[in-house]
Amino acid sequence: MITTAVKDKTFDVAEIREQFPILHRLVKGKPLVYFDNAATSQKPQVVIDKLVEYYSGFNANIHRGIHTLAEEATAAFEEARDTAQRFLGAAHREEIIFTKGTTEGINLVASTWGRQNISAGDEIIISAMEHHSNIVPWQILCLEKGATLKVIPIDDNGDIILEEFKKLFTSKTKFVSVVHVSNSLGTVNPVKEIIRIAHDFGVLVLVDGAQSTVHLDIDVVALDCDFFVCSSHKIYGPTGTGVLYGKRSLLEAMPVFQGGGEMIKEVTFASTSYNDLPYKYEAGTPNIADTIAFKTALDFVASVGKKNVRTHENDLLAYATARLEEIAGLRIIGKGKDKISVVSFVIDKVHPSDIGTLLDNRGIAVRTGNHCTQPLMDRLCVPGTIRASFAMYNTRDEIDVFTTALEKSITLLS
């Protein structure tokens, strides 16, 4: 019997679970407990069905064909853009660029806006809790241009120190790129305040929404961010697609990213003129099927209701935190003021990966290691953590199974 603190007319976790076929499988002979949602979420049947429907019903290349299948595929792809625009609260559909995901979105901005606007001696600010995807593209740019990467410090709880952030600005500061929700700690960063401060200094801001878009209501206009990036696969959609949002005036002024079909207006051997937004940044055949199914995922999340999901996930986080705090020798890493959906911890004298293996033997999927945030692990003086991250389909019962298995694993390893 599945129990949860949230069971009302609009949110029934048992009904939600019925829509995710993978949750019915066994792992090592045990019912799957999937707590690796920050890495990627599982997919509801409607998303899986949409992929099959596309390939068996209207597979065609988009924008160029005049036949029926091409028109149907193009319409569905462009509807995905409208849905993503509404989901993120963007003012214009041309501001929605489809990418491979968060990583490609950040690389696109670094290699276009960055190449055009960053010079020797300039400074770019990131935070101490960034994913490697929001560190390395800026390091590459800094190396190429002779610019400097500065890091906003965090306190021991895993909160950004805003006072220190303000002190980092100089006349050379050109860009800030920060994560909205930390994948390793679950900290929700005060991005609205960060953007306001940066804008007061005349500096643009990119928000890495890889972890936030699935949980929080995103309104890029209210946030006033200059760029926002996210990945479909963390929002119950397929892998290989995602969105870069950018303010229209910025996207229009930026140089192109990749060259090829679709991003051009006219090509001669002498020169090429480029297409209008958003196609200017969508060279080549895009990920049509996955982007169409991404729309289905966004509709699915909207129909369940993010507020319902948040209430449920907050309950799971509080319950898991309380259960874990009862375990001797366990230390939670990341006690930020505002957290969502992720609990990371270490255990005295036990290596995280040994715990991960023993939990897997009981059908429980957690993530162990540095979670692509090596500098954050260095800052917190841990080699890595064990991370449980929750989604709409998880339950308190699963947390009980997990904490019981965890205690048994610790006994075995001690």
Residues labelled catalytic: 372
Degrees (nearest 5) of the Cα angle 329, 370, 330? Answer: 10
Q: Which is nearer to ligand PLP, 131 or 362 (CB)?
A: 131
Q: Is 236 helix (H, G, I), strand (E, B) or coil?
A: coil
What are the phi and psi torsion angles at 270 (to 5°)?
A: -80, -40
Size of the site for ligand PLP (CB under 6 A): 12
Interface with ligand PLP, residue 208, by CB under 6 A: yes
Q: Which of the ranges 51-59, 77-85, 96-104, 289-297 carries the binding residues for ligand PLP, by CB under 6 A?
A: 96-104
Interface with ligand PLP, residue 102, by CB under 6 A: yes
Interface with ligand PLP, residue 85, by CB under 6 A: no
Interface with ligand PLP, residue 231, by CB under 6 A: yes
Among 9, 1, 19, which Cα is nearest to 392's? 19
> Would you say 215 and 340 are in contact if contact means Cβ atoms under 8 Å apart?
yes
Interface with ligand PLP, residue 241, by CB under 6 A: no
Distances (CA, A) of 385 to 159, 320, 330, 378, 400: 17, 16, 11, 12, 20
Q: Which is nearer to ligand PLP, 126 or 359 (CB)?
A: 126
Give the dihedral sign, CA 391/395/396/400.
negative
**Number of residues in the chain:** 414
Interface with ligand PLP, residue 133, by CB under 6 A: yes
Interface residue with ligand PLP among 179, 214, 223, 298 (CB under 6 A) is 179
Query: Cβ 240 to ligand PLP, closest distance in Å?
Result: 9
> What pairing do the DSSP bridges indicate for beta strands 148-152 and 123-127?
parallel
Q: Which of the ranges 88-96, 128-136, 270-278, 341-349 carries the binding residues for ligand PLP, by CB under 6 A?
A: 128-136
**Secondary structure tally for the chain: helices H, strands E:** 15, 17
Query: Cβ 254 to ligand PLP, closest distance in Å?
Result: 20
Query: Which residue type occupies 143?
Result: L
> What pairing do the DSSP bridges indicate for beta strands 342-347 and 330-333?
antiparallel
Interface residue with ligand PLP among 41, 74, 103, 173 (CB under 6 A) is 103
Q: Which of the ranges 156-164, 208-216, 321-329, 356-364 carries the binding residues for ligand PLP, by CB under 6 A?
A: 208-216
* Residues of this chain that bind ligand PLP (CB under 6 A): 101-103, 131, 133-134, 179, 183, 208, 210-211, 231
